[in-house]
Structure 1
Amino acid sequence: MDAPRPKELAAGPPKHPAWGWARAWRGWGPVELVLFLANFAVALQRPLTTQYLWHRLGEEVGYNGTSREGGCNDTVDPKQQEVETLTSHWSLYIDLSGFFVGLFSATLLGPWSDRVGRRPLLVLASFGLVLQVIVSILVVSLDLHVGFLVLGRLLCAFLGDYSSLLGTGFASVADVSTPRSRTLRMALLEACLGISGMLASIAGGQWIKAQGYINPFWLSLAMLITTTLYCAFVFRESVPDPQKASLFTLRHYRLVFQLFATPSPGKSRKHLALYLLALFLVLTIHYGTWDIAVLYELSWPLCWGSDLIGYGSAAQHLSYIVGLVQLWVLQLCLKDSWVAEVSLTFNIAGLVVFSLAKTTALMFTGYGILSFSLVVTPVIRAKLSRLVNKTEQGALFSAIACVSGVSMLAATGIFNSLYPATLNFMKGFPFLLGAFVLLIPAILIGALEIFDPRPEYQQTFH
């Protein structure tokens, strides 16, 4: 019989003290902080970019109502309409440029993260956002052509884009939560998005008014660099046993396809498809109305300055925080599906108010109603997550990221084209259209709950 191995040899070769420190340091950081930091930067940039396009293009066409303090003309100015149209179109070009690249990168990276872990994808997507904001800084500081913003969007999309970062965050929550707690955990994650977005919006609005555009972009860059370093060295990996896997392989695309094509116990392809359709419609209206809200507020008759736009954007993000409390309370007496229906009712009512808003008070009334409207998205994500195996969460959330990308493209194409086309007869018509479209997901979610009381998503693999 072999002699027993000494204790220190049985444990393996001695390790450098720095190895143990690094391992401990990389094991405690929650994913909520990743999305908090990244969303702060994105929420700071999005209205900032729209306002920069508005003022930059306004200067080029000779429109004199482009001061950062607001104060646009009290009558409809043809040049103002030209600036609105140009800004809408450039927003469309920027979003469209990254869509096709992001569509393929998201479906490639999501299933890859099921094998190698969530950390590599979080690092890649965060670094892509860093590159995008660097390009924006160069455009603003050097007065480069606004077309260079398209380049920044492409670089970001190639590395996964914000939608992949968001999808990976939700996949990480699905990895470590139970089916019972998943809806509330996802609402908590969205509340983190809301808090960061609200803080960024208030700070950005005041900062633009005081110092212009460049300094807020620098803050956004600092936040994204911090996010990238946090993902690389602090984030707690949620995949139990990460393995090496090739990135550039068609197998990852097949895994996404198999979610819908391969039947398995407890999986309902019908539920997957219908809930993804409902999510697509909700996100399309969400992105589309947020896209045009800043234009709607900048122009007559509201004529908001950057400070009021910041408060409005903060009110939008307040929905995430209110939604967490709303979900916790309503879950005491209602099923998740009916909680989503209540949320959609508030969403529809808020958009109707927006479509009629001619004063600041009425616009903020619409924001108040919409603050109860965002519970529907964590409910749908949680229902979808319960439909698939634990090893398919990355593939599922990459599919959700694709749906998010398609909805963003549809929203940008529809709303940024519809808004200038309807200025002459009803400026708030796109909001009214969005309210009618939201009736469709309301019907879908209600029908699935009423006519299929034994849905397959109640069976889980966990």
Structure 2
Amino acid sequence: MVEQVKQGIPKADSDDSVQRLTCRHCLMPIVIILIIYGNVILGTTETQYGYYVVQRQKNITSVVSASRQSLCEANTSSIRFKQQQEVQSETANWNAYCHLAQSIPVLLMCLMVGSWSDKIGRRTALLIPTFGLMFKAVFFALAIKLEWNIYTFIIAFFVDGLCGMWITLIAAAYSFAADLTKYGKGRLFGIVIIEIILGLGVTIGALSSGYVIKYLGFLYGSVLIVGVTCLLVVLIIFLPETVHTTDKLTNISQLEYLKNAISMYTKKDPLRYKYIKLAIVFALNVLPSIGRSNVQSLYVMNSPFCWNAVFIGLFGAFRSFVQMIVGVGL
């Protein structure tokens, strides 16, 4: 066993203690899809609602109508076109502040969540981003109903980031797959399945987001996600736990986890530079995707595209589907 651990084979695999699959484990794909679905719906709603509020505050009724239809002007010399650009710019600034408030706390969570899930369990690691999504959806619903200033949305983004967002979900999902598979091809297959499920969640969310906004509106679209998160809590409770430990988290252990996570990139080790390269590649891959869909939505809502919520959703679904096919294929 010692020799296996030295070679990088997890101890659980060496002891043949990989859990047996049961019907309840099949709840995991549903949980992943629903969490991703909720994030995509809220992500689409936030941008278009912010756009609508900004133009309403400026008493501009010709940019986006109350029925969530895009009404824009292609003539660059017209007053309406200049109004579109003004609304687009202010909405983009607001969106940037929101995602900045979300990204700062999530950086810390990225370092901690992997170690935490080994102590607190996979179910708790899944509940954390679920509660973050629930808080965000409830906040959105209240803010839209009571017509709060859109800059108060920064609070919801910060709390969601503090709960790890979808990054915590991905870490927990991969760990869940590792708990149920043996080291080697079986584990690789499990990770590929997780990738496919994540892609399906994004595609389904993007495909339906336009219709949710069109037929339910911003308020009831947010209420829908509140219901989804309540369902998620129930499903996660019934999900079997794949990690069993009697150790408890303490302030010292949390600092130790953070120290260990950072030491991978600082201590003298033959694999150190490989870890650094992997982290850089991952960062370059993930950073452009943060807020990308929001910027794209703002762009296609204006001329020359003038897309409404449905077209934006269809475009997002097509883009996500192609990314999933190409990514899994590579």
Q: Which interval holds the TM-score relative to the shorter structure?
A: 0.7 to 0.9
Q: Does 1:158 align with 2:162?
A: yes
Deviations 1:118-150 (A, max 9, x none): 222211221121111110111111111112211
Report what 2:234 is aligned to. Answer: 229
The structure 1 residue matched to 2:195, chosen from 174, 190, 193, is 190
Tell me, in whole angstroms, the C-alpha distance in 1 between the residues paired with 2:293 and 2:275: 27
Q: Does 1:270 align with 2:273?
A: yes
**CA 220–298 in structure 1, closer or farther in 2 if over 3 Å, else same:** same
Tell me, in whole angstroms, the C-alpha distance in 2 between the residues paired with 1:131 and 1:288: 20
The structure 2 residue matched to 1:31, chosen from 28, 33, 36, is 28
Report what 1:119 is aligned to. Answer: 123
Q: Is the 1:173–1:186 Cα contact (8 Å) retained in structure 2? A: yes
**CA 182–72 in structure 1, closer or farther in 2 if over 3 Å, else same:** farther
Report what 1:315 is aligned to. Answer: 318
Partner of 1:212, secondary structure, is helix
**Residue ranges of structure 1 left out of the alignment (5+ in a row):** 1-23, 328-338, 340-462
Partner of 2:74, secondary structure, is coil
Q: Is the 2:105–2:162 Cα contact (8 Å) retained in structure 1? A: yes
Tell me, in whole angstroms, the C-alpha distance in 2 between the residues paired with 1:184 and 1:289: 29
Report what 2:5 is aligned to. Answer: none
Q: Does 1:144 align with 2:148?
A: yes
Q: Is the 1:28–1:235 Cα contact (8 Å) retained in structure 2? A: yes
Give the aligned residue type for 2:41.
L
**CA 104–279 in structure 1, closer or farther in 2 if over 3 Å, else same:** closer
Deviation at 1:262, TM superposition (A): 4.4
Tell me, in whole angstroms, the C-alpha distance in 2 between the residues paired with 1:260 and 1:167: 19
Give the aligned residue type for 1:69.
Q
Give the aligned residue type for 1:186.
I
Structure 1 segment 49-448 matched on structure 2, within 5 A = 49-63=46-60, 64-67=62-65, 68-76=68-76, 77-177=81-181, 178-231=183-236, 233-239=237-243, 241-248=244-251, 249-262=254-267, 268-287=271-290, 289-319=292-322, 321-323=324-326, 327=329, 339=330
Report what 1:353 is aligned to. Answer: none
Report what 1:454 is aligned to. Answer: none
Tell me, in whole angstroms, the C-alpha distance in 2 between the residues paired with 1:153 and 1:26: 35
Tell me, in whole angstroms, the C-alpha distance in 1 between the residues paired with 2:89 and 2:95: 10
**CA 314–251 in structure 1, closer or farther in 2 if over 3 Å, else same:** same
Deviations 1:47-97 (A, max 9, x none): 111000011111112332112222311223121111111111111111111
**CA 236–262 in structure 1, closer or farther in 2 if over 3 Å, else same:** farther
Partner of 2:185, secondary structure, is coil
Q: Which has the larger radius of gyration?
A: 1
Tell me, in whole angstroms, the C-alpha distance in 2 between the residues paired with 1:262 and 1:114: 23
Q: Is the 1:193–1:317 Cα contact (8 Å) retained in structure 2? A: no
Tell me, in whole angstroms, the C-alpha distance in 2 between the residues paired with 1:321 and 1:104: 28
Give the aligned residue type for 2:311.
L
Give the aligned residue type for 1:291.
N
Give the aligned residue type for 1:253.
L
**CA 288–182 in structure 1, closer or farther in 2 if over 3 Å, else same:** farther
Tell me, in whole angstroms, the C-alpha distance in 2 between the residues paired with 1:228 and 1:258: 35
Deviation at 1:305, TM superposition (A): 0.8
Deviations 1:278-305 (A, max 9, x none): 1111222333542311011101100001
Tell me, in whole angstroms, the C-alpha distance in 2 between the residues paired with 1:257 and 1:238: 26
Tell me, in whole angstroms, the C-alpha distance in 1 between the residues paired with 2:22 and 2:142: 35
Tell me, in whole angstroms, the C-alpha distance in 2 between the residues paired with 1:136 and 1:203: 19
Q: Is the 1:208–1:306 Cα contact (8 Å) retained in structure 2? A: yes
Report what 1:46 is aligned to. Answer: 43
Q: CA RMSD in A?
A: 2.4
Does 1 or 2 have the higher relative contact order (CA < 8 Å, sep 6+)? 2
Tell me, in whole angstroms, the C-alpha distance in 2 between the residues paired with 1:206 and 1:80: 24
Q: Is the 2:27–2:235 Cα contact (8 Å) retained in structure 1? A: no
**CA 95–289 in structure 1, closer or farther in 2 if over 3 Å, else same:** closer
Q: How many residues align?
A: 300
**Residue ranges of structure 2 left out of the alignment (5+ in a row):** 1-20
Deviation at 1:100, TM superposition (A): 2.3
Deviation at 1:269, TM superposition (A): 1.5
Partner of 1:147, secondary structure, is helix
**CA 291–182 in structure 1, closer or farther in 2 if over 3 Å, else same:** farther
Tell me, in whole angstroms, the C-alpha distance in 1 between the residues paired with 2:248 and 2:39: 30
Give the aligned residue type for 1:65.
V
Deviations 1:359-384 (A, max 9, x none): xxxxxxxxxxxxxxxxxxxxxxxxxx
Tell me, in whole angstroms, the C-alpha distance in 2 between the residues paired with 1:243 and 1:165: 23
